[in-house]
Chain A
Amino acid sequence: MIRLLAAIGGPVVAALASIGRLTRFAVTALLRVVQPPWYPAQVAQQMLTIGWLSLPVVGLTAVFTGSALAQQIFIGGSRFNAASTVPAVTVIGVVRELGPVLGGLMVAGRVASAMAAELGTMRVTEQIDALVTLRTDPYRWLVGPRILAAILVMPALVLVSNALGVMGGWLLATQRLGFNSAQYLATTARYLEVDDVVSSLVKAAVFGFFIALMGCYHGYHSGGGAAGVGKATTNAVVSSFILILLSNLIITVIVFGS
């Protein structure tokens, strides 16, 4: 019986300890974001890395997904004479779900891994210890700017992603499915609501927070040389994917569930 309890209790305690460590890390980092001194050059550099350099991959994902979505809605809708719903369903699907979620996942794959690898390398090469000995708080210099930049830049990135996703659907619908261009755009505009856009941007900011948090957390606590950095990178990507999908579900239920 004791063995059974130990077998169950050990992992539970370990999981609770991990949650506690992560929460403390997140709170410390967020406090550093709001308290001076700030490092605007670091934030700008991270905004460039996270936002501008992610644009090609996020944009391509949005265009291809928007096009594929329009094609599927057309095929499905044709079965019950509802092919005309393509513009409305595409814009709702892209803006509410696919734009932020796929954009978030693509950025997580690109950015969370890079952050974990960079901070992990800094940890194992003692650069983080060097920062501390130079009286610079690593949370303030490394973690805070990454989290702030991700929260600020992800909504802009998702806004572009949404526009490109809708454009992908429009391109396919007008070039391949025989839709009238002006009518398609007018229907799109009529069905797009402010709540859709706001929820999309809120999701993006939350995803940005989780992406940077996971990248920094796993990198910061990396150990064990190259293997440790590799493990931190994998953990950062997997955990940010899970948190993006979970938080997306929660936000969707809260905003649209009623």
Chain B
Amino acid sequence: MTGPRIAFAGVKKAFGKRQVLNGIDLAVAPGESLVIIGGSGTGKSVTLKCLLGLIPIDAGSIRVDGQEVAGLKGAALDQHRTRFGMLFQGGALFDSLPVWRNISFALGGSVAERRAAAIDNLARVGLGPEVADLKPSELSGGMQKRVALARAIAARPPIILFDEPTAGLDPITAAVINNLIRTLVTDLAITAITITHDMTTVHSVADRVAMIHAGTIIWHGARAELEGCDNPYVRQFITGSAEGPIKVPGVR
């Protein structure tokens, strides 16, 4: 039996007096697609950024393939990041570069090779080569997400992180993105962590689901167990009810 690909143990992170992560415990098996759900400001994005080493943790441990992430610096941290692709919430495409250079940004080789690789990855996300020379600002929101997805998979990393992949998209485009993520995760045998509020994404993408609340994982289980779950926080979240234990800040 192999160990988890990613393991969080007692991870804590505070910004000033605000404790954002308050002891995250979580494990993701190789090839598994985990979706983390939770309200705004509960620490979902911070969890991903800690995993990437973009934000240092205050306490606890994050291990990837058995290697401790906390304390990594310089070349070791760069080496750690080669395992990851990341789809940022807004795409985070570089405005000044054409699409093909965005996708091939971290790839080596000649210009022709990198361009060919970019066009190949565009095809994987359902876009044609005519998009390659456009600037990100010339694309719709859905196309930008697809290009960002192509960039995330371009180096064929074993792990991909998806930060709110369908945020701001219409339902049809969101469904296309969800299907793309599920297909890529399956075809490329990727370990994936997706954070979202969108229950459609949960049903389309997840093998397992974890819910984060107040910086702690309060429930986790297989996707099939989600509907039958009796945790009041999870019930409130998946039904989208205003009534329940989760209080929206500033709302009485």
Residues of A within 8 A of B (CB): 121-122, 125-127, 129-136
Q: Taking the nearest CB of chain A, how far is it from the CB of B87, in angstroms?
A: 10
Option from A121, A122, A133, A136 in Cβ contact (under 8 Å) with B54:
A133
Given A126-B89, A130-B88, A130-B92, A136 and B105 contact (CB-CB distance below 8 Å): yes
Q: In the assembly, what is the distance between CA of A62 and CA of B151, in Å?
A: 47
Nearest 4 A/B pairs, CB to CB: A130-B92, A134-B106, A126-B92, A126-B88
Option from A122, A127, A129, A136 in Cβ contact (under 8 Å) with B106:
A136
Q: In the assembly, what is the distance between CA of A127 and CA of B49, in Å?
A: 14
The stretch that binds A, out of B59-67, B76-84, B125-133, B201-209, is: B76-84
Option from B49, B54, B105 in Cβ contact (under 8 Å) with A134:
B105
Question: Contact between B78 and A135 (Cβ–Cβ < 8 Å)?
Answer: yes
Given A133-B54, A133-B84, A136-B106, A126 and B90 contact (CB-CB distance below 8 Å): yes
Q: In the assembly, what is the distance between CA of A127 and CA of B52, in Å?
A: 15
Q: In the assembly, what is the distance between CA of A136 and CA of B90, in Å?
A: 19
Which A residues are in CB contact (< 8 Å) with B95?
Answer: 121-122, 127
Which B residues are in CB contact (< 8 Å) with A126?
Answer: 88-90, 92
Tell me the B185-239 residues at the A interface (CB within 8 Å): none
Q: Taking the nearest CB of chain B, how far is it from the CB of A172, in angstroms?
A: 42
**Considering only CB atoms, which chain A residue lies closest to B163 in the complex?**
A126
Q: Taking the nearest CB of chain A, how far is it from the CB of B145, in angstroms?
A: 13
Main SS of the interface on chain B?
A: loop
Q: Taking the nearest CB of chain B, how far is it from the CB of A252, in angstroms?
A: 38
Number of chain B interface residues as a range: 10 to 19
Q: In the assembly, what is the distance between CA of A133 and CA of B82, in Å?
A: 8
Tell me the B13-44 residues at the A interface (CB within 8 Å): none
**Considering only CB atoms, which chain A residue lies closest to B107 in the complex?**
A134
Q: Judge whether B86 is part of the interface by a CB distance below 8 angstroms.
A: yes
Which B residues are in CB contact (< 8 Å) with A122?
Answer: 94-95
Q: In the assembly, what is the distance between CA of A129 and CA of B86, in Å?
A: 10
Which A residues are in CB contact (< 8 Å) with B94?
Answer: 122, 127, 130-131
Besides A130-B88, A133-B52, 11 other A-B contacts (C-beta < 8 A)? A125-B90, A126-B90, A127-B92, A127-B94, A129-B92, A132-B54, A133-B54, A133-B81, A133-B86, A134-B151, A136-B106
Q: List 29 A–B pairs whose Cβ atoms lie within 8 Å, in order of A's numbering.
A: A125-B90, A126-B88, A126-B89, A126-B90, A126-B92, A127-B94, A129-B54, A129-B88, A129-B92, A130-B86, A130-B88, A130-B92, A130-B93, A130-B94, A131-B94, A132-B52, A132-B54, A132-B81, A133-B52, A133-B81, A133-B85, A134-B105, A134-B106, A134-B151, A135-B78, A135-B81, A135-B106, A136-B105, A136-B106
Q: In the assembly, what is the distance between CA of A210 and CA of B81, in Å?
A: 33
Which A residues are in CB contact (< 8 Å) with B81?
Answer: 132-133, 135
Q: In the assembly, what is the distance between CA of A121 and CA of B136, in Å?
A: 14
Which B residues are in CB contact (< 8 Å) with A134?
Answer: 105-106, 151
Which A residues are in CB contact (< 8 Å) with B88?
Answer: 126, 129-130
